[in-house]
């Protein structure tokens, strides 16, 4: 058992998101004594999936492992990367799907399990996320993991909250991704940190990190199109930092770092 400082970055959207990670992450690691960084990659390459080049870019910027979601396989070149890089995809994809959604890392003498689960509502057809998570958590504990972190990639906040109710007191942290819109419910309950959605890292002055033209066209006419990540925009980096002791979260904070030099820090509330 031991102490561990863990950081999580949600959906990194395109070049603007990657640029904020490259500019700020190494400094944040030093400032807060972060031992291990998890980031969600599913929108990292122009908003859809991940290329080998961009994966290398993010690892070089200070990310240790990356989780995915419904866009994990948008770039087919990602498939062999599951064998050569520290990449996860939602664990409740069928067993025949390339890659895995859970991995174990040794950090500061602590065995850390990282689990990537995807919800059901509006998502691709996958296995039951709750049953899959129960089995995966049991397996991680059998492997000796003192700390376990889950990225729950889901549209519905009810699914994310239900996952918290099922695992509070058992996991170190459960943080949601996918909607790109940050929620204001960061808390620690029974040693488990929970946040429904951490929000995107990337452009903050448009529609979920994408140029507004096509989303507006779709809402006004019902006719969609290809979403594009702007090359020029106002940017944000959103990071959750968890302090763990003996596998339990004792304190947590959320950082919002803006490209204009501002920084907002909020503490997770502690449930009594």
Q: Residue 30: which CATH number? A: 3.60.21.10
Q: Three-state SS for 146? A: coil
Question: What is the C-alpha to C-alpha distance for residues 64 and 157, in angstroms, rounded to an integer?
Answer: 27
Number of separate domains in the chain: 1
Length of the chain: 272
Q: Which domain holds residue 191?
A: 3-270
List the catalytic residue out of 24, 46, 71, 91.
71
Query: Does residue 88 contact residue 100 with C-beta atoms inside 8 Å?
Result: yes
252 burial via Cβ count (<10 Å: 0-12, 13-18, 19+): buried
Tokens matching residue 201: 């890292």
Tokens matching residue 57: 């870019």
Residue found by looking up tokens 């895995």 in the block: 100
Averages of pLDDT over each 10 residues, the chain, 272 residues: 92 98 98 98 97 98 98 96 98 96 97 98 95 98 98 98 98 98 98 98 95 93 92 96 97 98 97 83
Question: What is the C-alpha to C-alpha distance for residues 243 and 249, in angstroms, rounded to an integer?
Answer: 6
The whole-number pLDDT of residue 272 equals 75
The whole-number pLDDT of residue 1 equals 58
The whole-number pLDDT of residue 260 equals 97
Per-residue DSSP letter, 76: G
The yes-or-no answer on residue 248 being catalytic is no
């Amino acid at each position: 058992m031991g102490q561990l400082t863990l950081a999580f970055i949600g959906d990194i959207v395109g070049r603007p998101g990657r640029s904020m990670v490259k500019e700020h992450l190494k400094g944040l690691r030093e400032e807060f004594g972060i031992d291990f960084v998890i980031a969600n990659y599913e929108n990292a390459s122009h908003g859809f999936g991940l290329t080998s080049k961009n994966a290398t870019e993010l690892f070089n910027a200070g990310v240790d492992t990356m989780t995915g979601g419904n866009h994990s396989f948008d770039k087919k070149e990602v498939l062999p990367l599951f064998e050569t890089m520290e990449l996860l995809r939602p664990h409740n994809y069928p067993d025949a799907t390339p890659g895995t959604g859970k991995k174990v890392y040794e950090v500061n003498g602590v065995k850390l399990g990282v689990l990537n689960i995807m919800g059901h509502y509006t998502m691709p057809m996958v296995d039951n996320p709750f049953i899959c998570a129960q089995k995966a958590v049991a397996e991680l504990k059998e492997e000796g993991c003192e700390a376990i972190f889950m990225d729950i990639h889901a549209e519905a906040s009810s699914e994310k909250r239900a996952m918290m109710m099922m695992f509070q007191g058992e996991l170190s942290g459960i943080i949601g991704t996918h909607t790109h819109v940050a929620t204001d419910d960061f808390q620690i309950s029974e040693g488990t940190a929970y946040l429904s959605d951490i929000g995107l890292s990337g452009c903050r002055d448009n529609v979920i990190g994408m140029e507004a033209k096509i989303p507006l066209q779709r809402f006004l006419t019902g006719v969609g199109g290809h979403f594009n990540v702007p090359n020029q925009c106002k940017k944000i980096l959103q990071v959750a930092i968890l302090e763990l002791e003996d596998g339990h979260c004792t304190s947590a904070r959320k950082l919002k770092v803006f490209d204009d030099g501002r920084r907002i820090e909020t503490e997770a509330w502690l449930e009594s």
